[in-house]
Structure 1
Amino acid sequence: MEQVLWPKHCVQETAEVELHKDLMVNSSKNNIFHIKKGNDSDIDSYSAFWDNFKRQETELHSILKQWNVTHVYVAGLATDYCVAATALDAMDLNYTTYLIQDACRGVANESINNKTNEMRQRGIQIIQSRQVKTLVNCASIHHHNQNVQLQQLIEQYQDHSHVDLSEHQLTDEDMKIISKEILIRKQCKQLVLRSNRITSVGVSILAQTLHNNNSLNYLDLSSNQVSDDGVHFLSIILSMNNNILKKLDLGKNGITDNGMKHLAQMIKTNKILTQLDLCSNEITDEGIRLLADAIENSNSTIELLWLTSNTLITDKSIESIIGMVKKNQSLKRLWMFKCNLSEIGKKKLKELEQLNKNFRVYVNNWKD
């Protein structure tokens, strides 16, 4: 990635980094946070969320989630660099994002226009400062209306039923209602929350409700933002064996090898879970080694395992999987297509079907 050599500016502990004297900030409130970025002199850091290489994350996203923020308004300097990068990252993190255009200044007209067009195309709303108060008030009313709509939606489901709330733009704050009304009051058996805006914060709320839960046997959290932290919360609860959850879907949640460490520890003690879906994550061969070792040596309940579309898994995982299948007698189905396996690697996995007549592995598609 190309970097720009900027003139010296915004030097720490100089007047350049002070907030403008006309900016009204109520320092007596505890909801004012100062986020530091650009601490590495070798890497540009435009966004308030990440450095430009996405190696170092600031605490901003974590703070916003703790405060259940859903709408982000961006202003400042410079429109075509730090402001645009922050707004685009906010959009990627599923915040409703606004750029306050007349509260920004840029470097060059051409780059300002280009970035403004890019932001518009990505769904960021370009507004003026006079609109902010009205939009904030409307957002508050909208959130209240969403809660009412969610309650009405929940009431449509019978007790002990299958509840599907996919693609409803549910947030972490909504998980309090989900836990109270669906898991506790209605005691649903299956809960599908696919393709919402749930992060590790929301997962921690759900995980607490799973403690001593005797109704839920299937939980689908695929296509959210669970992350390794969310996996950690779930793993702690599932390690206790005081629930009846048999199937867990964590596909497409940005889970890495760190999350696999938590899952591996959980699998060593869990005696209930039979189906685990980890498709489309960021798991590498090391993560597979950890998981395979846990299933091979300490687990006798996992029957179905989905690892499809983990493109960082290579032939280096083959031996770990072979060892797992040979020793573990409970595993019956393994999906591993759209990983980075060679034809030789796929052939080795298919040969496992000859050793165990009850086992099938799918390396090309859902049926082969």
Structure 2
Amino acid sequence: MEKVATAQSIWQKLQQKQPVIISGPCSAETEFQVLETAIRLAKTGRVDAFRAGVWKPRTKPGMFEGVGTEALQWLKKAREITGLPLIVEVATARHVEECLKEGIDMVWIGARTTVNPFSVQELADALQGTTIPVFIKNPLNPDLELWQGSIERLKKANIAHVGVIHRGFSNYGNTEYRNAPMWHIPIELKRRMPELPMLCDPSHICGRRDLLFEVAQKAINLDYDGLMIETHIDPDNAWSDAKQQITPERLAELLQQIEWRQETTEKEAFLNALAKFREQINHIDDEILTLLGNRMKIAEKIGIYKKENNITILQTNRWNEILERALKKGEKLGLSKDFILKFYDAVHLESINRQHKVMMDYDHPQQTS
């Protein structure tokens, strides 16, 4: 088959804001499974790189932890046959050494590794000065500073090409997704580091194949630079993460359904209309901030009144009354329950902090000399 891409050309696509698709099985299980998956992916003409888990960090001992180094030979055969560049997860310096020795094109650092700065530093040292692209998945826990710190460790190691993969976050009580996307975290990372290529891994966010399209489309709508989606020749019988994998042919169908969007346009009519809408939003935002400022001034007066009457700041019945009223009003205005709850939680916390401050200032006025 004709060679599809190289790691360098993939990085160029990312720089040029062309979507990159990475796909392959969660785990490399057998040589046949690896080769057959790669061949069928290549036939779709939609995939830029082939992924497969060689070393699998699992939650409990006894679970399938990957074939190990032997599987790298299977991947190299897949590249020879299909021309698809390879990307593998690394978790230790030895993994890095094996991948570099075998000429693996790209690597990624997994979520379980990203949570440990010592592990990330070990990998950064092992990858020091490498020219192959290195991607880092978000940590399991929703900690933006930890994710950004991992990126900075790689950059300080003079690694030329660093990107990130959003795969969702562990969240107690989460039921819809395997890992809650918490879109605001990668959005904030993108704001802080706009030059950083960002891929989305819908497979690990969803944990089930029926949600893949919805999450993939949202990522593209949010200007992500590509997708990493797990595929398998026999998903239901995969040795790991069976529920979230799809066949290569289903991947092609899913990619065909996605509406691929661009970051901007030079069309004058669009730019003029957008400028007007944004100006309206700016005015509304100014009004919202002014109203919130006024609300907090009233909260401070309430704090003084509570202090004078020896009343606690938190009034649970009043808080429930506010929430109930806001949820009913928000529903009529087309606002989601989730948004109302998050917004009012933030407002309530600020109000509590303001009342606490005025109470403390009232009790302990600053001494002047």
Normalising by the residue count of structure 2, what TM-score does the alignment of the two structures yield? 0.27
Higher helix share: 2
Higher RCO by CA contacts (8 Å cutoff, separation 6 or greater): 2
